[in-house]
């Protein structure tokens, strides 16, 4: 009779431990579903229309932001060109998926803004559906303050990527420059490119000379490619259109 209370106590202890274990397992399972239930796999949105992509993202609990718009000859206007995060990435719900929208092939001609007042230039750009990109100011006593000195892309350029034009605008001669819009130096003789940079006080690093293969002769209706002249700039860093400070150093790659 004396052993029975010990047995009962042991059984009660086992029952309590079992209940604790079940409660822990339930808590772990609940946490697992709470964590993973709030996660979702990013779908592939490329080539969808923006409306289709937004609807799909919303159905998965994701937010869609159109960050950029680019011209494209491969993807129709209004469709998705690229996305971030990449398809298949696991993210939390309410995550923002950023996409670039295609504007279709370039159909507008870049107007000539050089020599006009900055406000007139902006109106010219907007009239044809282009945006104002980066604006930099250069002290220049030979032009009226606010006059556009240079633009990138240049007038009538074809095959541009972004629907925006960067402007370099004249400032009073005694002002300090707040930056420059990097011009396109490719194709220029390296000495000409270095002189152009030197005129605005930008230094260039020692050029890197590389061998350039001879372009093949065109066949059929294909236009033959012009050979690259020795000493011509074939690449630059920073890229054309980039806003740079006067302290920047430009790196030029030149054909041997």
Nearest-angstrom CA–CA distance, 150 and 167: 6
**Residue from 177, 179, 148 nearest 165 by CA:** 148
Which residue's entry shows tokens 């309410």? Answer: 94
Nearest-angstrom CA–CA distance, 144 and 204: 29
Instruction: Answer for the pair 88, 42: CB distance below 8 angstroms, yes or no.
Output: yes
Q: Name residues of the chain where pLDDT drops below 50.
A: 1-3, 33-35
pLDDT value, residue 211: 85
Count CB-CB contacts under 10 A for residue 131.
12
Q: CA 29: distance to chain centroid?
A: 42
**pTM score of the predicted model:** 0.55
Instruction: Answer for the pair 188, 234: CB distance below 8 angstroms, yes or no.
Output: no
pLDDT value, residue 79: 96
pLDDT value, residue 223: 52
Residue 154 Cα distances to 7, 118, 168, 174, 184, angstroms: 94, 15, 12, 28, 9
pLDDT value, residue 216: 58
Q: Is the peptide bond before 85 cis (omega within 30 degrees of 0)?
A: yes
Nearest-angstrom CA–CA distance, 42 and 100: 16
pLDDT value, residue 1: 46
Nearest-angstrom CA–CA distance, 60 and 43: 9
Six-digit token string for 93: 């719900």
By residue count, the chain amounts to 256
Q: Where do the domains of the chain lie?
A: 39-102, 108-178, 182-256
What is the topology classification, in CATH, of domain 39-102? Answer: Trypsin Inhibitor V; Chain A (3.30.10)
The CATH code of the domain at 182-256 is 3.30.10.20
The CATH code of the domain at 108-178 is 3.30.10.20
Identical topology for domains 108-178 and 182-256? yes
Six-digit token string for 172: 């009073």
Instruction: Answer for the pair 191, 254: CB distance below 8 angstroms, yes or no.
Output: no
pLDDT value, residue 101: 95
pLDDT value, residue 162: 87
Instruction: Answer for the pair 80, 42: CB distance below 8 angstroms, yes or no.
Output: no
């Amino acid at each position: 009779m004396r052993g029975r209370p010990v047995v009962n106590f042991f059984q009660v202890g086992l029952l309590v431990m079992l209940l604790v274990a079940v409660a822990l397992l339930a808590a772990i399972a609940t946490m697992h579903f709470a964590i993973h239930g709030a996660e979702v796999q990013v779908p592939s949105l490329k080539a969808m229309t923006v409306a289709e992509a937004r609807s799909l993202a919303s159905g998965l609990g994701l937010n869609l932001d159109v960050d950029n718009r680019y011209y494209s000859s491969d993807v129709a206007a209004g469709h998705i060109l690229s996305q971030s995060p990449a398809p298949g990435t696991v993210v939390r719900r309410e995550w923002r998926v950023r996409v670039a929208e295609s504007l279709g092939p370039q159909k507008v001609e870049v107007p000539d803004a050089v020599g006009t007042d900055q406000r007139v230039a902006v109106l010219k750009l907007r009239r044809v559906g282009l945006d104002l990109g980066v604006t930099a100011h250069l002290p220049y006593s030979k032009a009226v303050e606010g006059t556009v000195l240079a633009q990138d892309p240049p007038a009538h350029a074809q095959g541009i990527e972004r629907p925006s034009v960067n402007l370099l605008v004249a400032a009073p001669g005694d002002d300090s420059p707040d930056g420059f819009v990097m011009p396109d130096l490719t194709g220029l003789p390296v000495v000409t490119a270095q002189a152009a940079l030197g005129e605005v006080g930008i230094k260039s690093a020692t050029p890197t000379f590389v061998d350039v293969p001879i372009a093949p002769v065109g066949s059929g209706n294909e236009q033959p490619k012009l050979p690259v002249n020795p000493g011509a700039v074939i690449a630059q860093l920073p890229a054309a259109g980039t806003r740079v400070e006067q302290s920047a150093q430009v790196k030029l790659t030149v054909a041997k």
